[in-house]
Amino acid sequence: MAETMQKRTPLYDRHMALGARMMRFGGFEMPVQYTSIIDEHLAVRQAAGLFDVSHMGEIFVRGPRAFEFVQQLITNDASRLYDGRALYTVMCTPEGGVVDDLLVYRFDAETYLLVVNAANIEKDFAWMQEHNSMGAQLENRSDEIALLALQGPAAFTIARHFVPDLSPDNPRYYHFRVMEPGTFLGCRWAVLSHTGYTGEPGLEIYCYADEAANVWDALLEVGQAHGLKPAGLGARDTLRLEAGYCLYGNELDESTNPLEAGLSWVVKFDKGHFIGREALLRIKEAGPARRLIGLVLEARGIPRAGYPIVDATETPIGQVTSGSLSPVLQQGIALGYVPNQPAYTEPGQPLGVQIRRQILPAHVHKPPFVKLHKK
């Protein structure tokens, strides 16, 4: 059987020229690292990193009933949005399982942008079409739009070379700015969004795919003096894990619900109907059967997805969903699901992770695992 053709982002040639190690991810050939994951990770924590995240999906929702459509599709409350405001949310099945986690941007009362995970673009678009009884206009623009993430404490300093009035307060966290044509590196269309997946302050920059290389080159050139380094998916994963952020396919999927994943803050029952509301209400009333927890290993070792989590008697009680060596702590850290009981979920509780035939001691730690810079 022929192998599925992997897509390439508009920056593929830039990654190859920088000597990136490439891997398949979400149907794309993506850079996993340029120098080393630890080097790139620490650059983001201490200065800045530049990521190509053009594999993410961009779906526009337009029309007089666009708000109504978005509101029933997501668990969070879209009525809290105003022009230039974004929010994080999930879409659920009627049974409460997570279809995807996503960002929702409001451009105006009849224009919303939904940013979804790369591996889920087709699935999500089909889900939206299936549940579009409002006749909203849906456009999958994923192939035309590139996305770069400039992240780290020096991110805004670097971006100010191109937009002098940018700051962490302008736009504020989870706010964005649509640039006038030509005012950001000559781009015909660009959106600067104060969001990110690293736990550090920074911008996510949307532009047309054919203008992405110019933006990438300009940011790297100016950023060099501020410690900016290109960063791959490896560092993106260790950064989001230190921050305690969920990854779809690991902590989230259609067999998990947002309440057990620690995302009850994005589920607004008081907003009225949304897909999955009744199932999630039942789960809330009964209490989730399991809980996503953070773990810090007390001995040398690297926890990996699928490794068993054990209790004090060394009985398996759950499993790791994501794990790594924290480049900042130099300790193994993990996320994983365990039964929703205080003995397993309270910070400081002793548990263990089975790595091959050895059980390494660990304790429950509420994420984030490291101190993050103020956004």
Task: Identify the CATH homologous superfamily for domain 57-140.
Answer: Aminomethyltransferase beta-barrel domains (3.30.70.1400)
Write the pLDDT tens digit of every residue in 112-143.
999 999 999 999 999 999 999 999 999 999 99
Q: What is the pLDDT of residue 5?
A: 76
Q: What phi, psi does 108 have (nearest 5°)?
A: -160, 180
Length of the chain: 375
Q: What is the pLDDT of residue 374?
A: 83
Q: What is the pLDDT of residue 105?
A: 99
Confidence at 2, pLDDT banded by 50, 70, 90: very low
Q: What is the pLDDT of residue 62?
A: 98
Paired tokens of 188: 């015909």
Per CATH, is 289-364 categorized as 2.60.40.420? Answer: no
Furthest CA-CA distance within the chain: 64
> Where are the chain's structural domains?
7-56+144-243, 57-140, 289-364
306: left (phi over 0), alpha (psi -120 to 50) or beta: left
pLDDT greater than 50 at residue 281? yes
Write the pLDDT tens digit of every residue in 5-58.
789 999 999 999 999 999 999 999 999 999 999 999 999 999 999 999 999 999
- Number of Cβ within a 10 Å radius of residue 282: 11
Report how far residue 46's alpha carbon sits from residue 41's, in angstroms, rounded to the nearest whole number: 9
Write the pLDDT tens digit of every residue in 206-241.
999 999 999 999 999 999 999 999 999 999 999 999
Q: What is the pLDDT of residue 336?
A: 99
Which 8-state DSSP code applies to residue 167? B
Write the pLDDT tens digit of every residue in 247-259.
999 999 999 999 9
Residue with token string 């993506």: 30
For helices 37-46 and 233-243, angle between their N-to-C axes, nearest 10 degrees: 50
| DSSP element (H, E) containing 177 | strand 176-179
Residue 30, beta-bridge partner list: 23
Mean pLDDT of 85-102: 98
Residue 145, beta-bridge partner list: 208
Q: Model pTM?
A: 0.97
Report how far residue 242's alpha carbon sits from residue 247's, in angstroms, rounded to the nearest whole number: 12
Report how far residue 50's alpha carbon sits from residue 190's, in angstroms, rounded to the nearest whole number: 17
Report how far residue 293's alpha carbon sits from residue 280's, in angstroms, rounded to the nearest whole number: 20
278 is in an annotated binding site: no
pLDDT greater than 50 at residue 275? yes
Mean pLDDT of 174-181: 98
User: Same CATH topology for 7-56+144-243 and 289-364?
Assistant: no
Fold assignment, 7-56+144-243 = Gyrase A; domain 2 (3.30.1360)
